[in-house]
Amino acid sequence: MTENKKKVKKRAPKGMVTLYDGLTTANKDDAILFAGKYYVMGKSIFLLYERLYPINSEEITYDYKKKTYNLKLQTSFGIVGLDDNQDYLFGDFSFDEDSCNILVDLKEKNGSFKVYKAMDLNTVKICKFSEDYNRGIFYERGSKNPLFFKKHKGAHMFNNIIEKSPFETELNQKYGIDSITNIISEGKPYTMGVEIETSSGFLPEYVYTNNLNVRCVHDGSCSGGEYVTGILYGDAGYNQLNKLCYELSKRCTVDVKCGVHAHIGNINFNKEFTVYAWALGLKVEKELFSMMPPSRSKGKFCQALPHFEDAKLTKRLLSSKNKKEYMRKMEKKYSVIFTFLSGGHRPSLNHNKKKENPGGRYSRTRYYWLNMVPCNFVKGADSGIGHTLEFRIHSGSTNYTKIRNYILICKAFVWFVENCKRDILEKNTITLQDIVKKAYPRKGNSLNKYIKTRKAFFKNMTELFHNEGEEYLASKNKTLLTNRKEQTTELCV
Protein backbone atom coordinates (compact mmCIF):
# COMPACT_ATOMS: atom_id res chain seq x y z
CA MET A 1 0.00 0.00 0.00
CA THR A 2 1.45 3.32 -1.11
CA GLU A 3 0.76 6.60 0.58
CA ASN A 4 -0.43 9.50 -1.62
CA LYS A 5 1.89 12.46 -1.14
CA LYS A 6 0.18 15.81 -1.21
CA LYS A 7 1.82 18.81 -2.87
CA VAL A 8 3.20 20.90 -0.05
CA LYS A 9 2.58 24.63 -0.38
CA LYS A 10 5.76 26.62 0.08
CA ARG A 11 5.66 28.88 3.08
CA ALA A 12 6.58 32.43 2.15
CA PRO A 13 9.03 34.48 4.26
CA LYS A 14 7.91 37.69 5.85
CA GLY A 15 7.04 40.38 3.28
CA MET A 16 6.72 37.75 0.58
CA VAL A 17 3.73 35.84 -0.85
CA THR A 18 3.41 32.41 -2.39
CA LEU A 19 2.35 32.65 -6.03
CA TYR A 20 -0.40 30.80 -7.94
CA ASP A 21 1.70 27.64 -8.48
CA GLY A 22 2.26 27.14 -4.75
CA LEU A 23 6.02 26.84 -5.28
CA THR A 24 7.46 30.24 -6.12
CA THR A 25 7.38 33.39 -4.06
CA ALA A 26 7.48 37.08 -4.81
CA ASN A 27 7.64 40.40 -3.00
CA LYS A 28 4.15 41.20 -1.77
CA ASP A 29 4.38 44.73 -3.21
CA ASP A 30 4.99 43.30 -6.68
CA ALA A 31 2.13 40.80 -6.58
CA ILE A 32 -1.61 41.17 -7.12
CA LEU A 33 -4.37 38.96 -5.76
CA PHE A 34 -6.62 37.45 -8.44
CA ALA A 35 -9.27 34.76 -7.84
CA GLY A 36 -7.71 33.92 -4.48
CA LYS A 37 -4.16 33.51 -5.80
CA TYR A 38 -1.16 35.79 -6.17
CA TYR A 39 0.37 36.69 -9.54
CA VAL A 40 3.06 39.07 -10.78
CA MET A 41 1.86 41.55 -13.41
CA GLY A 42 3.57 41.08 -16.77
CA LYS A 43 5.09 37.75 -15.78
CA SER A 44 2.30 35.47 -14.62
CA ILE A 45 -0.76 37.63 -15.20
CA PHE A 46 -1.47 40.03 -18.05
CA LEU A 47 -3.79 42.97 -18.60
CA LEU A 48 -5.20 42.54 -22.11
CA TYR A 49 -7.97 44.75 -23.46
CA GLU A 50 -8.89 45.98 -19.95
CA ARG A 51 -9.17 42.47 -18.54
CA LEU A 52 -6.77 40.34 -16.46
CA TYR A 53 -5.69 36.92 -17.75
CA PRO A 54 -3.54 34.56 -15.62
CA ILE A 55 -0.73 32.74 -17.41
CA ASN A 56 -2.52 29.40 -17.17
CA SER A 57 -5.64 30.72 -18.93
CA GLU A 58 -6.59 28.85 -22.10
CA GLU A 59 -7.59 32.16 -23.72
CA ILE A 60 -4.03 33.48 -24.02
CA THR A 61 -0.83 32.30 -25.69
CA TYR A 62 2.76 33.45 -26.06
CA ASP A 63 3.06 35.95 -28.92
CA TYR A 64 6.46 35.53 -30.60
CA LYS A 65 6.13 38.84 -32.45
CA LYS A 66 5.38 40.98 -29.38
CA LYS A 67 7.49 38.72 -27.12
CA THR A 68 4.78 38.60 -24.49
CA TYR A 69 1.42 36.95 -23.96
CA ASN A 70 -1.58 37.86 -26.07
CA LEU A 71 -5.14 36.69 -26.71
CA LYS A 72 -5.28 33.60 -28.92
CA LEU A 73 -7.92 35.32 -31.02
CA GLN A 74 -5.38 38.03 -31.88
CA THR A 75 -2.72 35.63 -33.14
CA SER A 76 -2.04 33.20 -35.97
CA PHE A 77 -0.15 29.92 -35.86
CA GLY A 78 2.86 29.40 -38.07
CA ILE A 79 6.64 29.40 -38.44
CA VAL A 80 8.37 31.80 -36.06
CA GLY A 81 12.03 30.85 -36.55
CA LEU A 82 14.52 28.08 -35.79
CA ASP A 83 15.01 26.25 -32.49
CA ASP A 84 18.33 25.31 -30.89
CA ASN A 85 18.57 22.24 -33.14
CA GLN A 86 18.04 24.42 -36.27
CA ASP A 87 14.64 22.84 -36.85
CA TYR A 88 11.65 24.98 -37.77
CA LEU A 89 10.06 26.53 -34.68
CA PHE A 90 6.28 26.83 -34.72
CA GLY A 91 4.22 29.10 -32.52
CA ASP A 92 1.65 31.90 -32.32
CA PHE A 93 2.23 35.49 -33.42
CA SER A 94 0.10 38.62 -33.68
CA PHE A 95 -1.47 39.45 -37.02
CA ASP A 96 -2.58 43.09 -37.04
CA GLU A 97 -3.68 45.47 -39.81
CA ASP A 98 -0.06 46.27 -40.68
CA SER A 99 0.80 42.58 -41.13
CA CYS A 100 0.51 40.64 -44.36
CA ASN A 101 0.21 37.04 -45.46
CA ILE A 102 3.64 35.45 -45.93
CA LEU A 103 3.05 31.83 -46.89
CA VAL A 104 5.45 28.89 -46.92
CA ASP A 105 4.77 25.61 -48.76
CA LEU A 106 6.49 23.00 -46.55
CA LYS A 107 7.09 19.37 -47.40
CA GLU A 108 5.82 17.09 -44.62
CA LYS A 109 7.50 13.84 -43.48
CA ASN A 110 4.93 11.81 -45.44
CA GLY A 111 5.90 13.59 -48.66
CA SER A 112 2.80 15.80 -48.89
CA PHE A 113 2.91 19.60 -48.89
CA LYS A 114 1.23 21.92 -46.40
CA VAL A 115 1.06 25.72 -46.43
CA TYR A 116 1.97 27.58 -43.23
CA LYS A 117 2.15 31.27 -42.39
CA ALA A 118 5.52 32.81 -41.58
CA MET A 119 5.75 35.46 -38.85
CA ASP A 120 7.63 38.02 -41.00
CA LEU A 121 10.21 38.42 -43.74
CA ASN A 122 13.04 38.11 -41.23
CA THR A 123 11.73 34.65 -40.32
CA VAL A 124 11.82 33.70 -44.02
CA LYS A 125 15.42 34.92 -44.20
CA ILE A 126 16.49 33.04 -41.07
CA CYS A 127 14.94 29.82 -42.34
CA LYS A 128 16.56 30.37 -45.78
CA PHE A 129 13.34 29.88 -47.73
CA SER A 130 13.23 30.69 -51.46
CA GLU A 131 10.36 32.48 -53.18
CA ASP A 132 8.30 31.09 -56.04
CA TYR A 133 7.74 34.33 -57.99
CA ASN A 134 4.98 32.71 -60.05
CA ARG A 135 2.82 32.16 -56.97
CA GLY A 136 4.20 34.63 -54.42
CA ILE A 137 4.81 31.82 -51.94
CA PHE A 138 8.00 30.58 -50.24
CA TYR A 139 9.36 27.03 -50.13
CA GLU A 140 12.28 25.00 -48.81
CA ARG A 141 15.23 24.97 -51.15
CA GLY A 142 15.29 21.70 -53.05
CA SER A 143 11.69 20.76 -52.24
CA LYS A 144 9.47 22.83 -54.53
CA ASN A 145 5.90 21.58 -54.90
CA PRO A 146 5.80 19.94 -58.38
CA LEU A 147 2.04 20.52 -58.67
CA PHE A 148 2.60 24.26 -59.07
CA PHE A 149 5.89 24.35 -60.94
CA LYS A 150 5.89 27.20 -63.51
CA LYS A 151 2.20 27.92 -62.91
CA HIS A 152 1.45 31.67 -62.84
CA LYS A 153 -1.09 33.05 -60.44
CA GLY A 154 -3.36 35.70 -61.95
CA ALA A 155 -3.21 39.31 -60.80
CA HIS A 156 -5.43 40.31 -57.90
CA MET A 157 -6.79 43.81 -57.47
CA PHE A 158 -5.71 45.89 -54.47
CA ASN A 159 -5.37 49.52 -53.42
CA ASN A 160 -2.31 50.57 -51.45
CA ILE A 161 -2.24 54.22 -52.56
CA ILE A 162 -0.81 56.46 -49.82
CA GLU A 163 -2.13 60.00 -49.49
CA LYS A 164 0.18 62.86 -48.59
CA SER A 165 0.15 63.79 -44.92
CA PRO A 166 1.14 67.28 -43.72
CA PHE A 167 2.41 65.77 -40.46
CA GLU A 168 4.27 62.64 -41.66
CA THR A 169 7.40 63.90 -43.42
CA GLU A 170 9.28 60.60 -43.23
CA LEU A 171 6.24 58.66 -44.42
CA ASN A 172 5.79 61.01 -47.38
CA GLN A 173 9.41 60.50 -48.38
CA LYS A 174 9.24 56.71 -47.91
CA TYR A 175 6.34 56.43 -50.36
CA GLY A 176 7.76 58.99 -52.81
CA ILE A 177 4.99 61.54 -52.25
CA ASP A 178 7.45 64.23 -51.23
CA SER A 179 11.21 64.54 -51.51
CA ILE A 180 14.02 66.58 -49.98
CA THR A 181 15.98 66.45 -53.25
CA ASN A 182 15.02 66.72 -56.92
CA ILE A 183 18.34 66.02 -58.65
CA ILE A 184 17.28 63.44 -61.26
CA SER A 185 14.81 65.88 -62.87
CA GLU A 186 17.23 68.80 -62.41
CA GLY A 187 14.78 70.68 -60.22
CA LYS A 188 11.69 70.35 -62.45
CA PRO A 189 8.72 70.96 -60.11
CA TYR A 190 6.37 68.46 -61.75
CA THR A 191 4.71 65.52 -60.06
CA MET A 192 4.41 62.16 -61.81
CA GLY A 193 2.21 59.11 -61.80
CA VAL A 194 2.90 55.91 -63.73
CA GLU A 195 0.62 53.15 -65.05
CA ILE A 196 2.40 49.89 -65.90
CA GLU A 197 0.38 47.28 -67.81
CA THR A 198 1.38 43.60 -67.57
CA SER A 199 0.46 40.40 -69.37
CA SER A 200 0.93 37.94 -66.46
CA GLY A 201 2.09 37.66 -62.86
CA PHE A 202 1.06 39.45 -59.67
CA LEU A 203 2.36 41.24 -56.58
CA PRO A 204 1.85 39.33 -53.30
CA GLU A 205 0.45 41.20 -50.33
CA TYR A 206 3.69 41.18 -48.36
CA VAL A 207 5.50 42.99 -51.22
CA TYR A 208 3.32 46.10 -51.37
CA THR A 209 2.11 46.35 -47.75
CA ASN A 210 4.16 48.99 -45.87
CA ASN A 211 6.42 49.28 -48.90
CA LEU A 212 4.86 50.45 -52.18
CA ASN A 213 2.61 53.36 -53.10
CA VAL A 214 0.58 51.53 -55.74
CA ARG A 215 -2.71 49.90 -56.62
CA CYS A 216 -3.57 47.16 -59.10
CA VAL A 217 -6.59 47.61 -61.36
CA HIS A 218 -8.20 45.66 -64.18
CA ASP A 219 -7.51 46.80 -67.73
CA GLY A 220 -9.35 45.10 -70.56
CA SER A 221 -6.60 45.89 -73.07
CA CYS A 222 -4.03 43.61 -71.38
CA SER A 223 -4.20 40.11 -69.91
CA GLY A 224 -2.48 40.94 -66.61
CA GLY A 225 -2.94 43.63 -64.00
CA GLU A 226 -2.31 47.34 -64.45
CA TYR A 227 -0.17 48.80 -61.65
CA VAL A 228 -0.91 52.47 -60.94
CA THR A 229 1.33 54.49 -58.65
CA GLY A 230 0.21 57.23 -56.34
CA ILE A 231 1.35 60.82 -56.94
CA LEU A 232 5.17 60.81 -56.87
CA TYR A 233 7.64 63.67 -56.64
CA GLY A 234 11.40 64.24 -56.80
CA ASP A 235 14.18 61.73 -56.13
CA ALA A 236 12.10 59.96 -53.48
CA GLY A 237 9.43 59.44 -56.15
CA TYR A 238 11.97 57.89 -58.52
CA ASN A 239 13.21 55.67 -55.70
CA GLN A 240 9.64 54.46 -55.09
CA LEU A 241 9.27 53.78 -58.83
CA ASN A 242 12.57 51.86 -58.79
CA LYS A 243 11.26 49.60 -56.00
CA LEU A 244 8.02 48.94 -57.88
CA CYS A 245 9.85 48.09 -61.12
CA TYR A 246 12.22 45.81 -59.20
CA GLU A 247 9.34 43.76 -57.79
CA LEU A 248 7.34 43.74 -61.04
CA SER A 249 10.33 42.65 -63.13
CA LYS A 250 10.78 39.58 -60.90
CA ARG A 251 7.14 38.54 -61.00
CA CYS A 252 5.40 39.90 -64.10
CA THR A 253 5.77 39.79 -67.87
CA VAL A 254 4.81 42.25 -70.61
CA ASP A 255 3.89 41.79 -74.26
CA VAL A 256 2.86 43.73 -77.35
CA LYS A 257 -0.56 44.56 -75.84
CA CYS A 258 0.96 46.33 -72.84
CA GLY A 259 2.00 49.95 -72.44
CA VAL A 260 3.44 52.38 -69.88
CA HIS A 261 1.53 55.62 -69.31
CA ALA A 262 3.03 58.63 -67.55
CA HIS A 263 0.93 61.38 -65.93
CA ILE A 264 2.71 64.69 -65.32
CA GLY A 265 1.11 67.17 -62.90
CA ASN A 266 1.69 70.38 -60.95
CA ILE A 267 1.37 72.34 -64.20
CA ASN A 268 -0.48 75.57 -64.94
CA PHE A 269 -3.07 74.03 -67.27
CA ASN A 270 -4.41 77.14 -68.95
CA LYS A 271 -5.69 77.47 -72.51
CA GLU A 272 -2.28 78.59 -73.76
CA PHE A 273 -0.69 75.40 -72.42
CA THR A 274 -3.20 73.21 -74.27
CA VAL A 275 -2.61 74.98 -77.60
CA TYR A 276 1.18 74.99 -77.37
CA ALA A 277 1.34 71.39 -76.08
CA TRP A 278 -0.76 70.27 -79.04
CA ALA A 279 1.51 72.16 -81.44
CA LEU A 280 4.70 70.73 -79.92
CA GLY A 281 3.16 67.25 -79.91
CA LEU A 282 2.60 67.45 -83.66
CA LYS A 283 6.23 68.49 -84.21
CA VAL A 284 7.81 65.62 -82.21
CA GLU A 285 5.35 62.71 -82.44
CA LYS A 286 7.04 61.12 -85.47
CA GLU A 287 10.36 61.08 -83.63
CA LEU A 288 8.75 59.74 -80.46
CA PHE A 289 7.12 56.89 -82.37
CA SER A 290 10.52 56.08 -83.92
CA MET A 291 11.76 55.30 -80.39
CA MET A 292 9.05 52.69 -79.90
CA PRO A 293 8.11 49.33 -81.45
CA PRO A 294 6.12 49.69 -84.72
CA SER A 295 2.97 48.35 -83.04
CA ARG A 296 2.69 51.49 -80.87
CA SER A 297 1.76 53.59 -83.92
CA LYS A 298 -0.69 50.97 -85.21
CA GLY A 299 -2.83 50.37 -82.13
CA LYS A 300 -6.13 52.05 -81.30
CA PHE A 301 -5.08 53.04 -77.76
CA CYS A 302 -2.09 55.19 -78.78
CA GLN A 303 -3.01 57.09 -81.95
CA ALA A 304 -1.21 59.98 -83.63
CA LEU A 305 -2.70 63.43 -83.01
CA PRO A 306 -5.13 64.76 -85.64
CA HIS A 307 -4.09 67.90 -87.55
CA PHE A 308 -6.45 70.87 -87.32
CA GLU A 309 -5.70 73.81 -89.59
CA ASP A 310 -7.71 76.14 -87.35
CA ALA A 311 -5.58 75.10 -84.35
CA LYS A 312 -2.26 75.39 -86.14
CA LEU A 313 0.15 77.87 -84.58
CA THR A 314 1.67 80.43 -86.94
CA LYS A 315 3.96 83.42 -86.63
CA ARG A 316 0.91 85.67 -87.04
CA LEU A 317 0.25 85.15 -83.34
CA LEU A 318 3.41 87.07 -82.60
CA SER A 319 2.27 89.95 -84.80
CA SER A 320 -0.78 90.59 -82.63
CA LYS A 321 -1.17 94.30 -81.84
CA ASN A 322 -1.62 93.70 -78.14
CA LYS A 323 -2.17 90.98 -75.55
CA LYS A 324 -5.93 91.19 -75.93
CA GLU A 325 -5.74 90.38 -79.65
CA TYR A 326 -3.21 87.60 -78.93
CA MET A 327 -5.53 86.00 -76.37
CA ARG A 328 -8.50 86.30 -78.75
CA LYS A 329 -6.60 84.34 -81.40
CA MET A 330 -5.44 81.86 -78.76
CA GLU A 331 -9.04 81.41 -77.57
CA LYS A 332 -10.16 80.43 -81.08
CA LYS A 333 -7.39 77.84 -81.42
CA TYR A 334 -8.14 76.43 -77.95
CA SER A 335 -11.84 76.16 -78.85
CA VAL A 336 -10.99 73.89 -81.81
CA ILE A 337 -8.96 71.52 -79.63
CA PHE A 338 -11.48 71.57 -76.77
CA THR A 339 -14.37 70.81 -79.15
CA PHE A 340 -12.48 67.77 -80.41
CA LEU A 341 -11.62 66.55 -76.89
CA SER A 342 -15.22 66.94 -75.70
CA GLY A 343 -16.70 65.11 -78.67
CA GLY A 344 -18.22 68.15 -80.37
CA HIS A 345 -19.03 70.49 -77.48
CA ARG A 346 -17.61 74.00 -77.56
CA PRO A 347 -16.33 75.61 -74.32
CA SER A 348 -19.25 76.92 -72.27
CA LEU A 349 -20.62 77.10 -68.74
CA ASN A 350 -21.72 73.47 -69.04
CA HIS A 351 -18.56 72.23 -70.75
CA ASN A 352 -15.26 73.46 -69.34
CA LYS A 353 -12.19 72.50 -67.34
CA LYS A 354 -14.21 72.20 -64.11
CA LYS A 355 -16.65 69.68 -65.60
CA GLU A 356 -16.35 66.02 -66.55
CA ASN A 357 -15.78 65.05 -70.17
CA PRO A 358 -19.18 64.70 -71.93
CA GLY A 359 -17.78 61.58 -73.61
CA GLY A 360 -17.53 59.82 -70.26
CA ARG A 361 -14.66 58.10 -68.51
CA TYR A 362 -13.65 56.11 -71.59
CA SER A 363 -14.06 58.83 -74.17
CA ARG A 364 -12.42 57.87 -77.48
CA THR A 365 -10.51 61.17 -77.47
CA ARG A 366 -8.29 59.96 -74.63
CA TYR A 367 -6.70 57.22 -76.74
CA TYR A 368 -4.01 59.36 -78.36
CA TRP A 369 -0.33 59.19 -77.47
CA LEU A 370 -0.74 62.66 -75.92
CA ASN A 371 -3.92 62.51 -73.88
CA MET A 372 -5.12 66.03 -73.12
CA VAL A 373 -8.47 64.98 -71.71
CA PRO A 374 -7.29 64.87 -68.05
CA CYS A 375 -5.83 68.38 -68.24
CA ASN A 376 -9.03 69.88 -69.70
CA PHE A 377 -11.66 68.01 -67.68
CA VAL A 378 -11.99 66.70 -64.13
CA LYS A 379 -11.94 62.92 -63.74
CA GLY A 380 -14.84 62.84 -61.31
CA ALA A 381 -16.39 64.93 -58.57
CA ASP A 382 -15.26 62.51 -55.85
CA SER A 383 -11.99 61.31 -57.40
CA GLY A 384 -9.74 63.81 -55.64
CA ILE A 385 -7.37 63.64 -58.62
CA GLY A 386 -5.98 66.90 -60.01
CA HIS A 387 -5.40 67.74 -63.65
CA THR A 388 -2.54 65.94 -65.42
CA LEU A 389 -1.11 65.53 -68.91
CA GLU A 390 -0.91 61.86 -69.93
CA PHE A 391 1.71 60.37 -72.25
CA ARG A 392 0.59 56.95 -73.56
CA ILE A 393 3.25 56.25 -76.19
CA HIS A 394 5.68 53.91 -74.39
CA SER A 395 5.67 50.17 -75.00
CA GLY A 396 5.13 47.68 -72.19
CA SER A 397 8.04 47.45 -69.75
CA THR A 398 8.98 46.83 -66.14
CA ASN A 399 12.50 48.18 -66.63
CA TYR A 400 13.20 51.15 -64.38
CA THR A 401 15.80 52.73 -66.68
CA LYS A 402 13.38 52.79 -69.63
CA ILE A 403 10.50 54.15 -67.57
CA ARG A 404 12.61 56.74 -65.77
CA ASN A 405 14.05 58.05 -69.05
CA TYR A 406 10.53 58.09 -70.51
CA ILE A 407 9.33 60.25 -67.61
CA LEU A 408 12.31 62.59 -68.00
CA ILE A 409 11.39 63.07 -71.67
CA CYS A 410 7.77 63.75 -70.70
CA LYS A 411 8.85 66.34 -68.12
CA ALA A 412 11.18 67.96 -70.66
CA PHE A 413 8.23 68.21 -73.07
CA VAL A 414 6.12 69.97 -70.43
CA TRP A 415 8.96 72.29 -69.44
CA PHE A 416 9.53 73.26 -73.09
CA VAL A 417 5.83 74.07 -73.53
CA GLU A 418 5.91 76.33 -70.48
CA ASN A 419 9.23 78.05 -71.20
CA CYS A 420 9.87 77.99 -74.97
CA LYS A 421 6.65 79.16 -76.62
CA ARG A 422 8.46 81.39 -79.09
CA ASP A 423 10.49 78.39 -80.34
CA ILE A 424 7.28 76.41 -80.86
CA LEU A 425 5.82 79.31 -82.86
CA GLU A 426 8.84 80.25 -84.94
CA LYS A 427 10.64 76.97 -85.66
CA ASN A 428 9.25 74.65 -88.30
CA THR A 429 11.24 71.73 -86.88
CA ILE A 430 11.88 70.91 -83.23
CA THR A 431 13.60 67.67 -82.26
CA LEU A 432 13.66 65.76 -79.00
CA GLN A 433 17.36 66.59 -78.82
CA ASP A 434 16.51 70.32 -78.84
CA ILE A 435 13.95 69.86 -76.06
CA VAL A 436 16.15 67.67 -73.85
CA LYS A 437 19.24 69.90 -74.22
CA LYS A 438 17.33 72.97 -73.08
CA ALA A 439 15.43 71.20 -70.29
CA TYR A 440 18.44 69.33 -68.84
CA PRO A 441 21.68 71.33 -69.20
CA ARG A 442 23.56 68.90 -66.95
CA LYS A 443 22.29 65.46 -68.06
CA GLY A 444 20.82 66.21 -71.46
CA ASN A 445 23.64 64.54 -73.41
CA SER A 446 23.13 61.26 -71.57
CA LEU A 447 19.38 61.26 -72.18
CA ASN A 448 19.87 62.15 -75.85
CA LYS A 449 22.27 59.21 -76.19
CA TYR A 450 19.48 56.96 -74.88
CA ILE A 451 17.02 58.44 -77.41
CA LYS A 452 19.49 57.88 -80.25
CA THR A 453 20.05 54.25 -79.20
CA ARG A 454 16.32 53.55 -79.04
CA LYS A 455 15.73 55.04 -82.49
CA ALA A 456 18.53 52.96 -84.00
CA PHE A 457 17.16 49.79 -82.37
CA PHE A 458 13.74 50.18 -84.02
CA LYS A 459 14.87 51.74 -87.29
CA ASN A 460 14.38 48.61 -89.40
CA MET A 461 11.13 47.46 -87.80
CA THR A 462 8.70 48.69 -90.42
CA GLU A 463 6.16 45.88 -90.37
CA LEU A 464 3.59 45.37 -87.62
CA PHE A 465 4.95 43.16 -84.81
CA HIS A 466 8.04 42.37 -86.92
CA ASN A 467 11.00 41.54 -84.66
CA GLU A 468 9.37 43.18 -81.64
CA GLY A 469 9.76 40.22 -79.33
CA GLU A 470 13.12 41.36 -78.02
CA GLU A 471 11.52 44.49 -76.57
CA TYR A 472 9.42 42.35 -74.22
CA LEU A 473 12.01 39.76 -73.13
CA ALA A 474 12.40 39.37 -69.38
CA SER A 475 16.12 40.10 -69.72
CA LYS A 476 15.30 43.43 -71.38
CA ASN A 477 12.87 44.39 -68.62
CA LYS A 478 14.88 43.38 -65.59
CA THR A 479 15.34 46.04 -62.91
CA LEU A 480 18.12 46.29 -60.34
CA LEU A 481 17.36 47.93 -57.01
CA THR A 482 19.47 51.04 -56.47
CA ASN A 483 19.35 54.13 -54.29
CA ARG A 484 21.55 56.27 -56.51
CA LYS A 485 20.28 59.78 -57.14
CA GLU A 486 22.00 60.33 -60.49
CA GLN A 487 20.88 57.50 -62.80
CA THR A 488 20.83 58.66 -66.40
CA THR A 489 24.08 57.29 -67.82
CA GLU A 490 23.14 53.62 -68.24
CA LEU A 491 21.37 52.72 -71.46
CA CYS A 492 18.66 50.15 -71.87
CA VAL A 493 17.02 49.37 -75.19
Query: What is the distance between the alpha carbons of residues 213 and 160, in angstroms, rounded to a whole number?
Result: 6
Between the CA of residue 84 and those of 61, 81, 88, 110, 148, what are the distances in Å? 21, 10, 10, 24, 32
The 3-class secondary structure across 187-224, one letter per residue, is CCCCEEEEEEECCECCCCHHHHCCCCCEEEEECCCCCC
Q: Report which DSSP code applies to 393.
A: E
Report the greatest alpha carbon distance in the chain.
125
Query: What is the distance between the alpha carbons of residues 242 and 407, in angstroms, rounded to a whole number?
Result: 13
**CA torsion sign, 342 to 345 to 346 to 350?**
negative
Among 453, 414, 464, 409, which residue's Cα sits nearest to residue 432? 409
Among 292, 262, 289, which residue's Cα sits nearest to residue 390? 262
CB atoms within 10 A of CB 467: 14
CA atoms within 13 A on the CB side of 10: 14
Write the pLDDT tens digit of every residue in 459-489.
866 544 456 777 887 777 777 776 544 444 4
Q: What does the pLDDT profile of the chain (493 residues) look like in tens digits? A: 455 555 555 567 888 999 999 889 999 999 999 999 999 999 999 999 999 999 999 999 999 999 999 999 999 999 999 999 999 999 999 986 656 789 999 998 898 999 999 999 999 999 999 998 888 899 998 887 777 655 666 788 999 999 988 888 999 999 999 999 999 999 999 999 999 999 999 899 999 998 999 999 998 888 899 999 999 999 999 999 999 999 999 999 999 999 999 999 999 999 999 999 999 999 999 999 999 998 898 888 999 999 887 767 776 777 777 888 888 888 999 999 999 999 999 999 888 888 899 888 888 999 999 999 999 998 754 444 579 999 999 999 999 999 999 999 999 999 999 999 999 988 989 999 999 999 999 989 999 999 999 999 888 665 444 567 778 877 777 777 765 444 444 555 6
Query: What is the distance between the alpha carbons of residues 269 and 276, in angstroms, rounded to a whole number?
Result: 11
Query: What is the distance between the alpha carbons of residues 321 and 443, in angstroms, rounded to a whole number?
Result: 40
Between the CA of residue 314 and those of 317, 419, 422, what are the distances in Å? 6, 18, 10
Query: What is the distance between the alpha carbons of residues 7 and 108, in angstroms, rounded to a whole number?
Result: 42
Query: What is the distance between the alpha carbons of residues 177 and 107, in angstroms, rounded to a whole number?
Result: 43
The 3-class secondary structure across 6-31, one letter per residue, is CCCCCCCCCCEEEECCCCCEEEHHHE
Query: What is the distance between the alpha carbons of residues 432 and 280, in angstroms, rounded to a whole number?
Result: 10
Exposure string over 478-492, b if 16+ CB within 10 A, otherwise e: bbeeeeeeebbeeeb
Write the pLDDT tens digit of every residue in 296-352.
988 889 999 998 877 677 767 777 778 888 888 889 999 999 999 999 999 998 888
